[in-house]
Homo-oligomer: A and B are copies of this chain.
Amino acid sequence: MQKMSRLFIPKLVIPKDSAPKHIEALSRSQRLMNELGLVKGAGNGFFHFMPIAQRSLDKLCNLVDECVLKTGSYKMTMPILTPTELWQQSGRLHGDIEEFFIVKDRHDKKYLLSPTHEEAITSILATTAPISYKQLPLRLYQLGPKFRDELKARFGLVRAKEFLMKDLYSFDRSDKEAEESYKIITSSYAELFKKLQLPFEKVEACTGIMGGKCSQEYQIVCPVGEDRLLRCKQCHYAFNVDLAEGDAKCCLKCHSSDLEELKGIEVAHTFLLGDRYTKPFNATYLDSDGKPKALVMGCYGLGVSRVLAASLEVLSSDNGLVWPSLLAPYDICVIGPKDGSNEQELGDVIEKEICQKITEIYGCNDVVHDDRKYLTIGKRLWEAKRMGYPLIIVAGGKRAGDTPTLELLVKNHHHELHVDTVLTEIHKYKDHKTALRKRWH
């Protein structure tokens, strides 16, 4: 059980008479994460993840790993610095490169702070011993920082210049087999968003600078989203408005004009790339006839830190955070009586008892004890509610007749309960979380 007194939570202190600045760029998740000390700005578009947010981010990374490993993908890591020559070879250094950070080493050799790794992964395959068709499909992914020199960084982690991304690359023998990889991997993304209990849309999108045959985005539907989506009310097909031609917009699939417009935060973008990269890099496999053929490629980006922000954006209220169950930084927060209060004697006893029993049920993880007994219960409870812990338990030192009681808060509903009933609720929550975690279709 961790101690709140030891946790570093650098809350933002806004002087009462200060005028808020940049108000137009502030989203709900950004404001709350800043005020509650989860992130701290480190320059325009850069953020420190403080300990509480780090816990949620680590949980999300583990979930992503689990999700992706089930698709038969293997984890690896490519350097952040990629020599610019590779981007010359793919032709992507000739386009709109203002968003790239480029750095020189002491010998004037240039590197990109990679925003994505198609060039790097393809060049690995092109420069190893020939891959046999027997080794295909090949699915490789990594999870690490990416960089983009955004003209307008905004909404905190939603659009940052340095962000955490999971990028996955599939290599297959044919278009048909590549489509099979695409289906398996994109399904796993849909599973992930369901597990996170988020409202999402899978939409047809532009391939843009990435190139390739077709692409789809996963969008978290949300008012501050920067993407405009159109969803057909007849056939439910959805697409990015960038794909619509002219003013008389109609469904790209059934041609109905009965469309609704939504706003979304793009959290994942997947592409069937064909030989867009494997051909210029000469990344081939040896087919069963002994001849080398170009690998058929797919790529699948998932903005991990952006998913965290989008979750909080769409689930939270103006007054406090609400987390996807599997991403809550702690599941349970325990608050005891204030030092020197009348209820302290009884409260201390019951606080100790409940802490011990929770540890037996929950282990040392996922429970935080707000042991700052120099603060009032009210102050600590207010903070805990704003932080959105799924279960908040107050050992205030009250009685119902002969037996002491605890206060249990679930989704901001207060319950006055005996210890045993609280423990039953904790068991229930644990089972609920386990079921949610296990449920991969």
Contact = CB atoms under 8 A, between A and B. Distances in A.
Interface string A48-83: 111100110110000000000000101111111111
A435 interface: no
Interface string A104-143: 0110010101000000100010011100001100101000
A11 interface: yes
Contact of A43 (B37, B83, B135): B83
A440 interface: no
Given A11-B129, A58-B75, A124-B10, A46 B106 contact: no
Nearest to A135: B5
A145 interface: yes
Contacts of A382: none
A422 to B, nearest CB: 27
A120 B77 contact: no
A299 B83 CA distance: 32
Contacts of A50: 76
A237 interface: no
Given A75-B58, A128-B10, A129-B11, A149 B81 contact: no
B145 A80 contact: yes
A40 interface: yes
Contact of A77 (B57, B98, B111): B57
Interface in A1-58: 5-8, 10-13, 37, 40, 42-43, 46-51, 54-55, 57-58
A45 B280 CA distance: 25
A103 B98 contact: no
Contacts of A374: 134
Nearest to A147: B81
Interface in A309-355: none
A144 interface: yes
A124 B40 contact: yes
Contact of A101 (B103, B145, B161): B103
Given A106-B98, A134-B374, A144-B145, A40 B128 contact: yes
Contacts of A46: 79, 81
B8 A106 contact: no
Interface in A143-190: 144-145, 147, 149, 151, 161-162
B48 A106 contact: no
A102 interface: yes
Contacts of A162: 79-81
A114 to B, nearest CB: 11
A113 to B, nearest CB: 7
B79 A48 contact: yes
A102 B55 CA distance: 30
A132 to B, nearest CB: 9
Interface in A74-95: 74-83
Contact of A42 (B13, B40, B78, B151): B78
A14 to B, nearest CB: 10
A376 B79 CA distance: 36
Contacts of A11: 128-129
B149 A106 contact: yes
A8 B138 contact: yes
Contacts of A134: 5, 372, 374
B40 A79 contact: no
A37 B135 CA distance: 15
Contacts of A135: 5-6, 8
B47 A79 contact: yes
B149 A48 contact: no
Given A10-B129, A120-B42, A145-B144, A77 B106 contact: no
A78 B8 contact: no
Interface of A: 5-8, 10-13, 37, 40, 42-43, 46-51, 54-55, 57-58, 72, 74-83, 98, 101-103, 105-106, 109, 111, 113, 120, 124, 127-129, 134-135, 138, 140, 144-145, 147, 149, 151, 161-162, 372, 374
11 contacts: A11-B128, A13-B129, A40-B124, A42-B78, A43-B79, A46-B81, A49-B77, A51-B140, A54-B74, A54-B76, A134-B372
